[in-house]
Amino acid sequence: MKRARIAHDGRIVWTEAIENGTALRLPDGETIAAADAIFLPPVTPGATIFALGLNYASHRAELGFKAKEPPLVFLKGPNTLVGHRGTTPRPADGNQMHPECELVAIIGTPARRVPAERALSYVAGYTIACDYAIREYLENYYRPNLRVKNRDATTPLGPFVVDAADFGDPQNLQIATRVNGQVVQKGTTADMVQSVADLIAYLSEFMTLMPGDMILTGTPEGVHFCAAGDSVECEIEGIGMLENRLVAAP
């Protein structure tokens, strides 16, 4: 099942996506067009948001980095999230701001010291993130700082959550980003250095992962700098397409 979290008629509700995602079924059975919905980030309030840096071999090679252990993980605040078809502010001095399409795993069951071979059974579903980076603000590739990865509305999320039971292998998916219709990222989740299962095993070794926690699993090669007014589409096989537009920051 594909689900979306939307604002409708003064309420925030979870809906079921039908007709290939072109329509949404509300909890009371009413159906509305997806084009008429206001999409919200599909996140549980209070969830921890983990993000991975340099977790695709192609992206590491692109930036001139060799494999590094353990995984590079950082946290993101809820202020960073914005829904499907939302807008993201581009700072006036952010000339090296670029989108990063990422598969997101959403935890469904408390996980502590989970072995990798059982880790995927703790996943409730999957969605898409566009985790923008602004390289002018980068202090260190191994330590993404707050001004790069925790700016307001710089992580579009959605549009749908696909239940893990309906999803299949998360390590065999095509992933792509388009800016104004031009393909700027293209890869496959098979290129991850640490798989989704490996990441759950690693994180749960020293902390408890809770239902609703999200793991943004990294991005493939393709650094493309964007300008205010650009339209960005992030697409992952089996989930759909996340749309976002950059606007000039006040």
What is the layout of strands, in order, in the sheet containing 231-236? 86-90, 240-248, 231-236, 174-179, 182-188
pLDDT of res. 63: 67
Which residues is 163 bridged to in the sheet?
A: 125
Q: Which helix (DSSP H) or strand (DSSP E) does residue 61 occupy?
A: helix 57-63
- pLDDT category, 144, cuts 50, 70, 90? low
Q: CATH 3.90.850.10 residue ranges in the chain?
A: 41-248
- Which CATH superfamily is 41-248 part of? Fumarylacetoacetase-like, C-terminal domain (3.90.850.10)
Buried b (16+ CB within 10 A) or exposed e, 80-95: bbbbbbbebbbbeebe
Q: Both tokens of residue 218?
A: 């990294």
CA-CA-CA-CA torsion for 175, 177, 181, 184, nearest 10 degrees? -110
When the pLDDT of each residue in the chain is averaged and rounded to a whole number, the result is 93
At residue 140, the pLDDT reads 67
pLDDT band of 60, cuts 50, 70, 90: low
Highest mean pLDDT among 60-74, 116-130, 132-146: 116-130
Would the pLDDT of 29 be above 80?
yes
Per-residue pLDDT tens over the stretch 214-242: 999 999 989 999 999 999 999 999 999 99
Domain 1-39: assigned CATH number? 2.30.30
Reported as a pLDDT band with limits 50, 70 and 90, residue 67 is low
- Tell me what pLDDT residue 142 has: 58
* Rounded distance between C-alpha atoms, residue 67 and residue 50, angstroms: 20
* pLDDT surpasses 70 at 94: yes
